[in-house]
Structure 1
């Protein structure tokens, strides 16, 4: 940075700065390239069950909101949030191996107060009349946000409508640095839960997409009144964010000042915990903004020193766990009743009887000789199984008896017929020997009929 008093800053020491980044996009970079390189890997991790965060940091007018949300003029100007929603829901439609549930929340932090951007009362009420989002902390130091709604989105269209609704409610003002400057920090969060059919294990993940307000010196903006108050709160919250980043970068630091501001409290997991975090540093190319650009790069270098350890977020669904525990208790009661020979007085329900009959029927229809019938330790089920088998055997035996009787009748009929035939043949032979046939021609016809039989 050469010495130049005309631009309003003096630097007598350094003439060059060097910073290291994982990726650099120039002013010609397209939104799809930014998404593929930055947001897509984090979205894939969120789908796999890991928490993720992407946040943009930089001075007013450097392109944070354009990068995160996008422009409204062309479809190709869509930012990270709408492209991430498209990618996630396309993946959910293709993956039929799991049952997915998605919810969306949109938090605005304005003058260090939280507001729900998806609150339907936004349009008809003043900002100060709306319920403020407050931070609650449980014994495990998990953060919960009161008065922040969680809206379910079953498809991409519903999610985008929620995004557009929140964007229309954001605090935007014209400043000397930017015609449409966002005067608040906004956190768009996608909550994803997935479960395999029949499994009690649920994976829950959340993806924070954060658009921070502009960071610049108040003197340079030349604002006053309400805009000055907003700028002070913005810079104060960013200052606390920087303090947290510095503390996290120090290995032996015992205390991290998360509670200093609402934003650092909400992003506690994202900054130094169970999360995969990506930071986008936006810079202005104008020469008069060099000092702000250097400040942003320095902040980014401190963020790069933080090491997060993201873990898979799996838990047991409480409802399914209750069902499984009830089943175990029922089986244990059956085993105890069998050991103690205690008679169960209550009768089996129709549903239990139907399930038991289906189980026995499958066992009887199974051609495998080594198949077994397991009805548990419930003597009521054992007795019902024996009764079912008794009726089954009796029904089959009755059918066999009818078949046997029919067969015996046929056999007896054949025996009688054969006996009659033999006798007639013998009689005919006797008549032939005595010469009866020769004397009476009528016998000749009769014998022919007998032989034909």
Structure 2
């Protein structure tokens, strides 16, 4: 999802951030506020990857470096655990997940790299860089025209799902096996939600079966536009996984959502927009002041 930030091998997340800031530069009539957060779901527990208070002391790159069952408490000590709260109108709030306001592309890239460095990744018999967790990079964009009382607000979830690997092919045991079970189970619950959304006659959507589907509730069947990229293998030995992935993507294509603009009036976001507008006006004043001084000289 990240790739190399310096060349054409950039991943989806940096390309999205680049597109976003380029688009903002072309719309000077609006004031924008950009906030980002990075969430990891490891063994069905959410962690804030941008928790600056603590960072992982090492990069997990090999199976033997992953924490054993008795050492899983280290993750709880290093990173804030995320919990879900639902308000009276049904909106979800993620407690302990921090959103950082970014003013430019460099700030956003810095946070992205910080979160990537804190992820749990290992090499397995099936994948040399296997994600042992699901990760969600969230971007919240608020836009307001000068003099307007309301602002438009949009949220983008960029989700990197851990791959579903057949346990019997990987020959894994212990903690790695436990991780694989959590990954496969959460992907199964995600598929259940997608199948239910594709059937108009189904009344109940099982969002609450897993943390992943709970967080993505408003990005799957709500006021949203969802795109899924399915990665497959050309090797015959992976035919079973490839067919399963294609069927999963086919089910996703059956979901129909109807979009509408989000207009809100919120004190915190309003303050962020006003601060951004104030900063922009200060920069304009500096430029005009320099021009006046040069003119008088």
- Equivalent position SS for 2:162: coil
**Residue 123 of structure 1 corresponds to which residue in structure 2?**
56
Q: How far, CA to CA, are the matches of 2:11 and 2:91 in structure 1?
A: 30
Instruction: Decide which moves more: 199-208 or 312-321.
Output: 312-321
CA distance in 2, matches of 1:119, 1:317: 25
Between the aligned partners of 2:92 and 2:146, the Cα distance in structure 1 is 30
Q: Which moved more, 1:118-127 or 1:130-139?
A: 118-127
Three-state SS of the structure 1 residue aligned to 2:205 is: coil
Identify the match of residue 280 of structure 1 among 214, 224, 229. 229
Residues 281-360 of structure 1 correspond to what in structure 2 (within 5 A)? 281-318=230-267
| Equivalent-residue separation in structure 1 for 2:224 and 2:102 (angstroms) | 23
Alignment RMSD: 1.7
Q: Deviations over 1:308-367 (max 9, x none)?
A: 11210112355999xxxxxxxxxxxxxxxxxxxxxxxxxxxxxxxxxxxxxxxxxxxxxx
Give the drift of 1:241.
0.3
Q: Which has the higher contact order (CA 8 A, sep 6+)?
A: 2
1-structure distance, mates of 2:242, 2:202: 28
Partner in structure 1 of residue 7 of structure 2 = 75
Q: Which runs of 5+ in 2 are unaligned?
A: 58-72, 271-297
Counterpart-to-counterpart distance in 2, 1:183 and 1:308: 31
The 1:144/1:319 distance shift into structure 2, 3 A limit, reads closer
Offset at 1:270?
1.1
Summarize deviations over 1:93-113 as a string: whole Å, max 9, x none: 221101000000000000000
Structure 1: runs of 5+ lacking an equivalent = 1-67, 322-453
Which residues of 2 match residues 124-139 of structure 1 at below 5 A? 126-129=74-77, 130-139=79-88
Aligned mate of 1:264, from 199, 213, 223: 213
**Normalized per residue, which structure has more helix?**
1
Count of equivalent residues: 253
Instruction: Indicate if the aligned counterparts of 2:126 and 2:165 stay in contact, CA closer than 8 A.
Output: no
Equivalent position of 1:254 in the other structure: 203
- The answer to whether the aligner puts 1:106 opposite 2:55 as a matched pair is no
* TM-score, length-scaled by structure 1: 0.54
TM-score in terms of structure 2 length: 0.82
Give the 3-state SS of the residue equivalent to 2:128 in structure 1. Answer: strand
Q: 2:288 matched to which residue of 1?
A: none
- Corresponding residue SS for 1:119: coil
Residue aligned with 1:216, SS: coil
